[in-house]
Chains A and B, each alone.
Chain A
Amino acid sequence: DTAVSQTPKYLVTQMGNDKSIKCEQNLGHDTMYWYKQDSKKFLKIMFSYNNKELIINETVPNRFSPKSPDKAHLNLHINSLELGDSAVYFCASSQGGLAGQETQYFGPGTRLLVL
């Protein structure tokens, strides 16, 4: 009955590798997000999709590429991982299309450590 789920929960990898994180929501929401939480706990939006369409694309390196195959799924692919990519990545979803003006429900997070 998990509302927003992410896999994997932990990801430890070497610099230069490519990795993906998957997110799924079963709330029937139209909008999904990716956030990055750094070591100082600062939570910052990266991307947002509404019904599979990219609506928010913040100043994020091109190595990060989101993909939404359908409105219940939002994946994040990261190429050529760098040390600074180490963080917790949270997926979230909200009901309608007013990104930022609705309650957002967060997934459990993916803890990425780049060595």
Chain B
Amino acid sequence: GENVEQHPSTLSVQEGDSAVIKCTYSDSASNYFPWYKQELGKRPQLIIDIRSNVGEKKDQRIAVTLNKTAKHFSLHITETQPEDSAVYFCAADLITDTGRRALTFGSGTRLQVQP
């Protein structure tokens, strides 16, 4: 099946700095690109998503950009705070090993915000 590549695997920033996480995908027919935040021992929770007919979406300190031609999308967090520390997952709707379209997750980025 197709996959989603996510970089970096770990990211450490100082409080107040910006953080950027990047993902690439392989299926040009993909249409839906969510980002999930998972705190230690907790469930993944949606923080923002974008669809293929939009190039950028913003929600307060969080923004996502999508480049369909290059097949990559990015998460931008500005003015980071210690509570932003978590693992972030990108995802895209891709064709799986069994030929079905399903949400496929990247391998995660562990973000550490240093106070």
What CA separation (Å) do A34 and B90 show in the bound complex? 18
Closest chain-A Cβ to B27's Cβ sits at a distance in Å of 11
Cβ-closest chain B residue relative to A59? B97
Contact with A along B93-115 (1 / 0, CB 8 A): 11011101111110110000000
B42: chain A residues at CB < 8 Å are 108
The number of residue pairs between A and B whose CB atoms lie closer than 8 Å in the complex comes to 63
Q: Which residues of B contact A99 (CB under 8 A)?
A: 100-103
Rounded to whole Å, the gap between the CB of B94 and the closest CB of chain A is: 8
Question: In the complex, which of the residues B34, B43, B46, B98 contacts A109, with contact meaning CB atoms closer than 8 Å?
Answer: B43
* Interface pair B43/A90, CB less than 8 Å apart: yes
Interface residues of A (CB under 8 A from B): 40-45, 48, 55-59, 90, 99-109
Can you list the 10 inter-chain pairs with the closest CB atoms, starting with the nearest? A100-B93, A106-B43, A100-B102, A43-B105, A100-B103, A101-B32, A56-B100, A100-B101, A41-B108, A101-B93
Q: What are 9 A-to-B residue pairs whose CB atoms are below 8 Å?
A: A40-B107, A41-B38, A48-B102, A56-B98, A100-B103, A103-B34, A104-B46, A105-B46, A106-B43
